[in-house]
Amino acid sequence: MADMPSAFWSGWISVLTLTSLAGMVWLVWSVYFDRDRGHEQEAGPVWDGNLKEGERPAPMWWFWLLFGSLIFSVVYLMLFPGLGSFAGLLDWSQGSRVAESYDDYEARFAGVRAEIAEMSLAEIQNDTGLMAVAERIFRRECAACHGSEGRGQADMFPNLHDVDWQWGGEEEQIRQSIRSGRNAVMVGWEAVLGEEDIGQVGDYVLSLADGVDEDHQGKAVYDRNCAVCHGADGGGNTLLGASRLSDRIWLYGGESQDIRESLVNGRFGVMPAFDEQRLDDTQLQLILALLVR
């Protein structure tokens, strides 16, 4: 209530509350103690010989109950927020309750969290409890893109449990992929190469898994245009995020029309950065334990 739009509404609510309280007091009082009421009832109709409409006061314990509730309301409104923007004598608020329990939580777990952040990946991997926590974090932060098991999806989001790491599979490299994000850039080749070369080099790319074929029609185009990033043997380059083309693992699909699509339009995969606000050091360490082998 401290955020009332104006003093007028705060005052209005206080007046309404206090007036209704006073009204209740008057009502209760008049029912029990107004001696003048009910006398004219005595001349009312009589049924079945002696059954008359009359009036008996409600029992006294009922009066004390109502009286007690009214006193309680007054005391409550004095101590707690309730009357417009009056904060109450105790200065209690839900917000501060939440802040207090958060501080409690921090104080209780800060030590444990710092310890986990310092643990080695092997130690975490040996602790099934911590690994379960890691999986929960992964499902919350990463699964929307990488799939609930991290096995990739939609020919768009890479599998994080295979041997193929576009940006490198060492602990430091994966840490960097997550903390700083990754922007993969391969611009389209249509304007540079033309339809025929694209077909041939695509074909050559698909053959790289069987080793370099010196006589392949597409090899010259590949060596001239692609080898700088993807390597002469298609081994890839983790500094550029240039995919390994020789392992039969494809992010964007391995059919010849998928390769063609990659070449014609280019590919621009974006892994968002997860800074300390989104993933603190403890959570990052747990996720690394999940991904690094």
Cα distance between residue 275 and residue 293, in whole Å: 23
Counting beta carbons within 10 angstroms of the beta carbon of residue 243, is it exposed (0 to 12), middle (13 to 18) or buried (19 or more)?
buried
Q: Which is nearer to ligand HEC, 127 or 190 (CB)?
A: 190
Q: Fill in the per-residue mask, 178 to 217: x = in contact with ligand HEC (CB under 6 A), - = not in contact.
A: x---x-xxx--x-----------x---x------------
Closest separation between CB of residue 170 and ligand HEC, Å? 10
Residues 6+ apart with CB under 8 A from 165: 173, 174, 238
Q: Fill in the per-residue mask, 210 to 229: x = in contact with ligand HEC (CB under 6 A), - = not in contact.
A: ---------------xx-xx
Binders of ligand HEC among 267-286, rule CB under 6 A?
267-272, 274, 279
Cα distance between residue 70 and residue 24, in whole Å: 8
Q: Which residue in the set 84, 130, 152, 262 belongs to the binding site for ligand HEC (CB under 6 A)?
A: 262
Binders of ligand HEC among 132-171, rule CB under 6 A?
141-142, 144-146, 157-158, 160, 165-167
Cα distance between residue 155 and residue 153, in whole Å: 6
Cα distance between residue 197 and residue 222, in whole Å: 9
Q: Count CB neighbours of 213 within 10 A.
A: 12
Q: Which is nearer to ligand HEC, 7 or 220 (CB)?
A: 220
**What's the token pair of residue 251?**
């992010």
Q: Which residue in the set 83, 134, 147, 230 belongs to the binding site for ligand HEC (CB under 6 A)?
A: 230
Q: Looking at beta carbons, which residue is closest to ligand HEC?
A: 269
Q: Count CB neighbours of 242 within 10 A.
A: 21
Closest separation between CB of residue 137 and ligand HEC, Å? 7
- 173 closest CA partner among 245, 238, 242: 238
Counting beta carbons within 10 angstroms of the beta carbon of residue 209, is it exposed (0 to 12), middle (13 to 18) or buried (19 or more)?
middle
Q: Which is nearer to ligand HEC, 83 or 160 (CB)?
A: 160
Q: Is residue 240 near ligand HEC by the rule CB under 6 A?
A: yes
Which residues make up the interface to ligand HEC (CB under 6 A)? 141-142, 144-146, 157-158, 160, 165-167, 174, 177-178, 182, 184-186, 189, 201, 205, 225-226, 228-230, 240-243, 245, 250-252, 259, 262-263, 267-272, 274, 279, 287
